[in-house]
C-alpha cells in the first residue's frame, strides 16, 4: 500500500472520529457523494439501519448494497458507473424493517421540484476575483460602519412573462445594479437551501448543503456573490438550524429511529411550524449543522448568516403544546444554548469577519457579545420589540398617538443592551398584516407622508437597518411569495417619488458618520425632547466622533404643520436643514427648504440655546450645524 493511500485511510478515520465527537466541521468531505479517479464514493450515516442500498440512474434504480462501518454507523459504496448529472437516492431498510427511499443529506444539488433525488454535481474550480472586498472586510469594523440591508425572497423579486422566477444568472444582471442605484450596503436572502415547498419560503429545508435548483446552479450563485462584492455589496443568507422538513423521504427518522431529532417525541415535533426539531445536543448533529454553515461561508464567500428562530432553540416552551422542563425544572434548552455558542465560536475562529445575526424575539437571554460573558456570541440581533411597537404606532390614528408616545420612545431605554438590527422585514407584510404602505393611517397622500416619516425615524434611530423588498417604493399590496413584486406601481408618480426618497435616504445614511460611528455607545444619541405628547413631536441628536459632527432629528407624528416650533440645541450658532421629507422631489408639497436656524438664548430642558423652525405635517426634518461655537454649551 502506498504512503498516500495510508495517509488517506488515516485521514478518513480521523474524520469519522471527529464526527462522532461533534468536532468535524467539514463533514461534507466525508459524507455524501465524492468524485474519485474512476467513479464516485457514496457515504451516508444511518447507524440503526438494517441495510442501506444505493439506487440511481447509473444502475436503473436497482438496489446496490452498501457496506456498514459498525463503529460509526456510516455506510459506503464505490461506484464506477456513476457520472456527473446522474440522479440518486439511498434506500434505507429501517430498524423496523420498513424500506424507504431517502435523500442524501449531504447532496450539493437536487433535481427540480417536485422531485427530491440528489444530483451528482462537481463544483467548478472557480478563481475568485473578490479579494479586494474580502481584504477590506477583514480590516473593517462592522459596528462602526453603515449597514443597510435589502431583504429578499429570491424567487419573487421579479418574474418572467411566463410566470417563472429569475435565476441567479439573471439576478446578477438586474438585481445588483438596482442595489447599487438604491444605495444599499448589503442584500439578505431568505433561505436559498433546497426545500420542497415554496409556501415555506425556504424555512423548512431538506438540503443543508444544496442551493435550491429553483434558483439556478451553485456556480451561478458563486458568480452572483462575486459580482456583488465587485460592486461593494455584501451578501447575507438566512439559515435554519432549529428545525427541518417533516417529509418522510428526507431527514426525519432517517434510519427508523431518532437520528437527527430528539428521542423525546414532544421535543422532536415542532407543532408551531409542522416540522421536526434537530437534537442540538447530539455531537453528530452539531457536526452536520456547523459544517453546513461553514460550507456556505467558504464555497460561496457569503458575508454573514442570519440564524432563524433562535427562540425555538433556546427555550423548551417556545412551541405550542406539551413541553418537558430541563433538569433544573426550568424552560431553558441548554443543548440549544451550547450549540449556538459553539457555532459562533467555531465560525469566528475560522472567519472573524463573518457576521452572525440572530432572529430572536425574547429578552431573557443575552444574544450578542462575548461567549465568555454568558452571551450566545452573535454579532447582531433583530430588534423585534422596536419593530412591533413602531408599526403599532404608525398604524394608529394620529389623534390617539399622544397617549401612546411611549411606543416610539421606549426603545431608547434598551437600545444598547444588544447590538441591534432594526428590521422592517417580510414577516410584517404578509398573512393579512398588510404592506408597510397599507398600514399607514389616512388617505394615499398621508400614507406616503407617514412612510417617509417612518423611514426617516428608522434610519436615524440607533441600530443597523433592514427593509424588505417592495417596501422601498411603498408597494400597497401584501407580498406574494409565488408572484413577482408589483413593479407596475412605478408607473405612478407617487411610487416613483417614494423609490427616489428611499434611495436618497440610503445615500444620506451612508454619508453621515453621526448615524453609525458611535453606535456601540450611548454617546451616539442625546434626547432633546421625548415628552412632547401634546404636539406629538419627537426630537433627538445623533452624534459622530467629532464634536461638530452631529444631526438634529425632528419627527412630527400628526397631520398638523408646526410653525415657529422651538427646541433646545447644544451650541450657539447656525443650523442648516439637510433633510425634509415633504420636499416636492419626494412626493411632498414643499418647493423650498426652511431657512437656516439661528440660535437664541433660552432655556429648553438641559439646553440654554434654542432654535425655531417649521415642521411639516406628518413630516420629518434633519438639521446639521453650519457654523457653531462648541466652546460654549
Helix, strand, or coil here: 183? coil
Residues 458 and 574 occupy one common structural domain: no
Q: What is the pLDDT of residues 31-55, one digit of tens each?
A: 999 999 889 999 999 999 999 999 9
- Report the C-alpha gap between 49 and 101 in whole angstroms: 13
Domain that holds residue 535: 526-628
- Residue ranges of the alpha helices (H) in 423-524? 436-439, 444-460, 493-510
Same domain, 211 and 89: no
Q: Model confidence over 70-127: pLDDT tens digits?
A: 999 999 999 999 999 999 999 999 999 999 999 999 999 999 999 999 999 999 999 9
List pLDDT tens digits, range 213-242. 999 999 999 999 999 999 999 999 999 999
Q: In this prediction, what percent of the chain has a pLDDT beyond 90?
A: 94
Report residue 551 CA to chain centroid gap.
29
Cβ contact 79:40 at 8 Å: yes
Q: Is residue 131 part of a domain?
A: no
Is residue 141 one of the residues assigned to a domain?
no
**Sheet harboring 269-270: ordered strands across?**
243-244, 275-277, 269-270
Strand partners, 42: 33, 77
CATH number at residue 71: 2.60.40.10
What's residue 633's pLDDT?
A: 58
Contact indicator for 55, 88 with CB cutoff of 8 Å: yes
Domain count, the chain: 3
**63 and 158 share a domain?**
no
Statement to judge: residues 481 and 570 lie in one domain:
no
- Asked if residue 462 belongs to a domain, the reply is yes
CA distances from residue 385 to 411, 413, 586 in whole angstroms, order as listed: 8, 12, 29
Identify the domain boundary among 491, 515, 539: 515
Q: What is the DSSP string of 264-287?
A: SHHHHEETTTTEEEB-TT-HHHHH
Q: Residue 439: which residues within 8 A CB-CB, separation 6 or more?
A: 391, 394, 395, 433
| Rounded Cα distance, 562 and 573, in Å | 22
Give the least confident one: 2-6, 19-23, 143-147, 383-387: 2-6
Residues 508 and 582 in one domain: no
Asked, for residue 143, whether it belongs to a domain, the answer is no
- Residues marked active site are found at 308, 359
Please check the confidence at residue 484 and state whether its pLDDT lies above 60.
Answer: yes
Are residues 301 and 178 both part of a single domain? yes
Domain boundary among 459, 484, 515: 515
| One domain, residues 493 and 423 | yes
**Quick one: 196 and 306 in the same domain?**
yes
**Residues 222, 325 share a domain:** yes
Task: Establish if 136 belongs to a structural domain.
Answer: no
CA angle 74, 80, 83 (to 5 degrees): 100
Q: Which residues are within 8 A (CB) of 212 and not within 5 positions of it... i.e. 6 or more apart?
A: 110, 192, 193, 194, 195, 202
Q: Are 482 and 156 spatial neighbours (Cβ–Cβ below 8 Å)?
A: yes
Residues 245 and 347 in one domain: yes
| 134 located within any domain | no
Best CA proximity match to 524, nearest among 578, 434, 464, 483: 464
The C-alpha cell of 115 is what?
Answer: 422531485
User: Does 291 lie in the same domain as 159?
Assistant: yes
- Does some domain include residue 124? no
Last residue of a domain, one of 453, 484, 515: 515
Is there a domain that residue 616 lies in?
yes
Q: What is the CATH number of the domain that holds 568?
A: 2.60.40.1180
**Alpha helices in 140-254, H assignment, sequence order:** 168-181, 218-230
Q: What is the pTM of this model?
A: 0.96
Task: Return all residues near 413 (Cβ < 8 A) that are at least 6 apart.
Answer: none
Q: What is the DSSP string of 349-414?
A: HH-TT-EEEE----SSS--BS-GGGT---BSEEE-HHHHHHHHHHHHS-HHHHGGGTHHHHGGGGT
Q: List pLDDT tens digits, range 115-166.
A: 999 999 999 999 999 999 999 999 999 999 999 999 999 999 999 999 899 9
| CATH number of domain containing 313 | 3.20.20.80
Q: Where are the beta strands (DSSP E) in 521-599?
A: 525-529, 537-543, 550-556, 562-569, 573-580, 597-598
92 and 176 both lie in a single domain: no
Amino acid at each position: 500500500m502506498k504512503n498516500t493511500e495510508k495517509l488517506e485511510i488515516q485521514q478518513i478515520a480521523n474524520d469519522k472520529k471527529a464526527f462522532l465527537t461533534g468536532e468535524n466541521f467539514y463533514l461534507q468531505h466525508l459524507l455524501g457523494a465524492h468524485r474519485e479517479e474512476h467513479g464516485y464514493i457514496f457515504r451516508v450515516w444511518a447507524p440503526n439501519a438494517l441495510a442501506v442500498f444505493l439506487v440511481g440512474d447509473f444502475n436503473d434504480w436497482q438496489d446496490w448494497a452498501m457496506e456498514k462501518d459498525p463503529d460509526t454507523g456510516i455506510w459506503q459504496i464505490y461506484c464506477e458507473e456513476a457520472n456527473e448529472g446522474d440522479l440518486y437516492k439511498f434506500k434505507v431498510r429501517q430498524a423496523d424493517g420498513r424500506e424507504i427511499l431517502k435523500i442524501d443529506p449531504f447532496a450539493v444539488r437536487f433535481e427540480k421540484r417536485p422531485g427530491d433525488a440528489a444530483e451528482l454535481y462537481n463544483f467548478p474550480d472557480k478563481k475568485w476575483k473578490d479579494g479586494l472586498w474580502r481584504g477590506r472586510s477583514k480590516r473593517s469594523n462592522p459596528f462602526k460602519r453603515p449597514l443597510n440591508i435589502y431583504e429578499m425572497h429570491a424567487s419573487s423579486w421579479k418574474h418572467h412573462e411566463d410566470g417563472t422566477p429569475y435565476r441567479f444568472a439573471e439576478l446578477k444582471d438586474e438585481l445588483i445594479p438596482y442595489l447599487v442605484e438604491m444605495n444599499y450596503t448589503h442584500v439578505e436572502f431568505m433561505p436559498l437551501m433546497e426545500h420542497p415547498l415554496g409556501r415555506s419560503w425556504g424555512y423548512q429545508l431538506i438540503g443543508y448543503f444544496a442551493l435550491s435548483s429553483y434558483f439556478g446552479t451553485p456556480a451561478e450563485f458563486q458568480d452572483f456573490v462575486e459580482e456583488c462584492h465587485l460592486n461593494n455589496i455584501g451578501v447575507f443568507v438566512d439559515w435554519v438550524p432549529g428545525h427541518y422538513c417533516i417529509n418522510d423521504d428526507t431527514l426525519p427518522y432517517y434510519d427508523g429511529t431518532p437520528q437527527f431529532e430528539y428521542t423525546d417525541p414532544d421535543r422532536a415535533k415542532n407543532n408551531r411550524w409542522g416540522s421536526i426539531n434537530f437534537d442540538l445536543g447530539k455531537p453528530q448533529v452539531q457536526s452536520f449543522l456547523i459544517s453546513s454553515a461553514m460550507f456556505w461561508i467558504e464555497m460561496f464567500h457569503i458575508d454573514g448568516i442570519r440564524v432563524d428562530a433562535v427562540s425555538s432553540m433556546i427555550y423548551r416552551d417556545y412551541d405550542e403544546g406539551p413541553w418537558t422542563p430541563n433538569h433544573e425544572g426550568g424552560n431553558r434548552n441548554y443543548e440549544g444554548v451550547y450549540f449556538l455558542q459553539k457555532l459562533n465560536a467555531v465560525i469566528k475562529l475560522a472567519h472573524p469577519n463573518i457576521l452572525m445575526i440572530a432572529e430572536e424575539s425574547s429578552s431573557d437571554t443575552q444574544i450578542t457579545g462575548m461567549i465568555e460573558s454568558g452571551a450566545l456570541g452573535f454579532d447582531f440581533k433583530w430588534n423585534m420589540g422596536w419593530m412591533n411597537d413602531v408599526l403599532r404606532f404608525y398604524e394608529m390614528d394620529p389623534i390617539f398617538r399622544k397617549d401612546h408616545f411611549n411606543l416610539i420612545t421606549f426603545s431608547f431605554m434598551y437600545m444598547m443592551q444588544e447590538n441591534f438590527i432594526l428590521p422592517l422585514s417580510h414577516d410584517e407584510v404578509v398573512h393579512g398584516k398588510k404592506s408597510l404602505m397599507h398600514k399607514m393611517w389616512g388617505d394615499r397622500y398621508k400614507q406616503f407622508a407617514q412612510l417617509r416619516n417612518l423611514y426617516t425615524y428608522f434610519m436615524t434611530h440607533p441600530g443597523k437597518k433592514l427593509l424588505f423588498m417592495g417596501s422601498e417604493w411603498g408597494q400597497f399590496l401584501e407580498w406574494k411569495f409565488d408572484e413577482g413584486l408589483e413593479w407596475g406601481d412605478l408607473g405612478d408618480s407617487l411610487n416613483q417619488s417614494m423609490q427616489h426618497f428611499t434611495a436618497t435616504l440610503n445615500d444620506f445614511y451612508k454619508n453621515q458618520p453621526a448615524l453609525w460611528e458611535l453606535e456601540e455607545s450611548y454617546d451616539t444619541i442625546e434626547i432633546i425632547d421625548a415628552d412632547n405628547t401634546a404636539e406629538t413631536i419627537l426630537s433627538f441628536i445623533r452624534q459622530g466622533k467629532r464634536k461638530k459632527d452631529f444631526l438634529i432629528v425632528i419627527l412630527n407624528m400628526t397631520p398638523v404643520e408646526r410653525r415657529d416650533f422651538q427646541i433646545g440645541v447644544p451650541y450657539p450658532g447656525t443650523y442648516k436643514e439637510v433633510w425634509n421629507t415633504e420636499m416636492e422631489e419626494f412626493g411632498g408639497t414643499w418647493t423650498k427648504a426652511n431657512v437656516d436656524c439661528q440660535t437664541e438664548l433660552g432655556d429648553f430642558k438641559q439646553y440654554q440655546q434654542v432654535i425655531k423652525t417649521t415642521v411639516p405635517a406628518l413630516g420629518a426634518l434633519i438639521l446639521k450645524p453650519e457654523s457653531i461655537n462648541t466652546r460654549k454649551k
